[in-house]
Amino acid sequence: MKQTITEHDVPQFAYGARYLGAGGGGSSNVLELLTKRAIREYGPVQLQHPFEVKEGEWIIPVGIMGSTTIMNEKIPTGWELLEVLQAVEKEKGIRAAAVAGIEIAGINVLTPILTAALARLPVMDCDGMGRAFTGIHMTTYHAFDIPLVPLVMMDENRKSIWIRSYSNEETERIARASVMNMGGWAAIACYAMKTEHIREASIYHTFSLAWRLGRGVKEAQEDIHQVVQVLMEELSNSVYGIPHLVTKGKIVELSCDMKKGQLSGSFFLEGRGEHTAEQWEILFHNEYVLCKQEENVRVMSPDLICVLDADTGHPIQIEELEKNRNVWVLGIPSPPLVRTSKMLEVVGPETYGHSFSFLPIESLYKQAGEKRGVDHAAAWD
């Protein structure tokens, strides 16, 4: 496990986390620069396992909610994150012993590191999603009944909002409306919990995994085959599991619609190479949530759908989709903690309007393999 984060590690964290975003999570060069500067000025950040923090200490997760596109126009200073952390400390009359992540994907792999640098605290090698999800209640913290509140939000003008609602779902709805009124993004701190709770409720080693993915993919030098090999090796030796190569194809149709800050739609693929004549559809709702071949579902939320550029192996976020682009699609098993019944109530396929219940990618591909006599888990070449 990596133990010290220097400014030279920041690009690896940022890039590796994009592979865990399922098309969401956003990206921001600004946040990367802010994190590098904070570490350069205040020193390296210690990355700690939850069992390295003493019993009874307080851990506070932080992040940024809203649009990263807007954030690149309404630029943060980074201090907003420290101020929301301190606001939760003051509200509860506590002192944080460490900072944690809400999600591991996109920009929110960096927000806890930036906050930890500014606060001179360690950051936990864990998070509450193991990927990106649309709502801040879609966490393993929520599944273990840890209250979201008090939740503090702050924009780039230091305008702050406190939310003290009766339920995590209601808190999410209020926060979602508030971030739109605040101009499109806000720094947030929430889910304050003690060490024993984060040990029970978090997904371990996700930050160190993001770093390893970023390092390995950089060494792959934009060779799609090498990139996939890195993903195969690192994810197979993690809390996720063995990825599946779902298909290779060309985007032939794309439709999307923005409503209340949520980007929803789908795109269609025509298979290429050994997948010629196959027809695929991938649906998204801020993240990729369902992948099917005609009417046969092959990957569904909360398992991760990772869309890669067929030439470089770069992960393609939803806002980067375009017609006539050649892609590879991977399916990645989600961590076991994300597949629990309480989590599936808020991240399973029913959440996105589908009538069927979650089946893990391993089961779906076993069924498909039994029908066709194919070992899909081994079908990489």
pLDDT digits (tens, 9 = 90+) for 64-123: 998 877 877 888 899 999 999 999 999 999 999 999 999 999 899 999 999 999 999 999
Amino acid at site 323: K
What pLDDT band is residue 273 in, cutting at 50, 70 and 90? confident
Pairing of strands 262-271, 326-332: unpaired
- CATH no., domain 4-206: 3.40.1610.10
The 8-class DSSP code of residue 55 comes to T
pLDDT surpassing 50 at residue 380: no
- CA 27-32-36 angle, 5° bins: 170
Whole-number pLDDT of residue 366: 78
**Of 254, 248, 305, 311, residue with least CA distance to 276:** 248
How far from chain centre, in Å, is Cα 311? 24
How far from chain centre, in Å, is Cα 220? 22
pLDDT in tens, 293-330: 988 999 999 999 999 999 999 999 999 999 999 999 99
Q: How far apart are CA 191 and CA 168, in angstroms?
A: 10
Neighbouring residues of 381: CB distance < 8 A, sequence distance ≥ 6: none
Structure tokens at 165: 């609602």
Distance between the two ends of the chain, CA-based, in angstroms? 30
Q: pLDDT higher for 91 or 380?
A: 91
Q: How far apart are CA 115 and CA 113, in angstroms?
A: 5
pLDDT surpassing 90 at residue 356: yes
- CATH no., domain 238-375: 2.40.390
pLDDT surpassing 50 at residue 214: yes
Beta strand spans in the chain (E): 4-5, 45-48, 58-66, 96-101, 123-124, 126-127, 151-154, 160-163, 185-189, 193-194, 203-204, 244-259, 262-271, 279-285, 287-293, 296-300, 304-309, 326-332
Whole-number pLDDT of residue 258: 78
Among 104-108, 212-216, 364-368, the range scoring the smallest mean pLDDT is: 364-368
Handedness of CA 4, 104, 244, 333 (dihedral sign): positive
Instruction: Report whether 190 contacts 148 (CB < 8 A).
Output: yes
pLDDT in tens, 31-47: 999 999 999 999 999 99
Tokens 């009124």 belong to residue: 181
Q: How far apart are CA 48 and CA 3, in angstroms?
A: 7
Instruction: Report whether 313 contacts 307 (CB < 8 A).
Output: no
Neighbouring residues of 181: CB distance < 8 A, sequence distance ≥ 6: none
Per-position DSSP letters for 157-188, written without gaps between them: T--EEEE--SSHHHHHHHHHHHHHHTTSEEEE
Do you know the residue count of the chain?
381
Q: How far apart are CA 171 and CA 139, in angstroms?
A: 13
The domain ranges of the chain are: 4-206, 238-375
Instruction: Report whether 151 contacts 163 (CB < 8 A).
Output: yes
Pairing of strands 96-101, 296-300: unpaired
Q: How far apart are CA 158 and CA 44, in angstroms?
A: 26
Which SS3 state, helix, strand or coil, does residue 143 take?
A: helix
For the chain, percent of residues with pLDDT exceeding 90: 83
pLDDT surpassing 80 at residue 369: no
pLDDT surpassing 70 at residue 255: yes
Neighbouring residues of 122: CB distance < 8 A, sequence distance ≥ 6: 45, 46, 47, 48, 53, 97, 98, 99, 116
> Highest mean pLDDT range out of 19-28, 69-78, 252-261, 366-375?
19-28
pLDDT surpassing 70 at residue 378: no
Whole-number pLDDT of residue 333: 98
Average pLDDT of the residues in 355-364: 94
pLDDT in tens, 134-171: 999 999 999 999 999 999 999 988 899 999 988 999 99
**Same fold across 4-206 and 238-375:** no
Instruction: Report whether 78 contacts 118 (CB < 8 A).
Output: yes
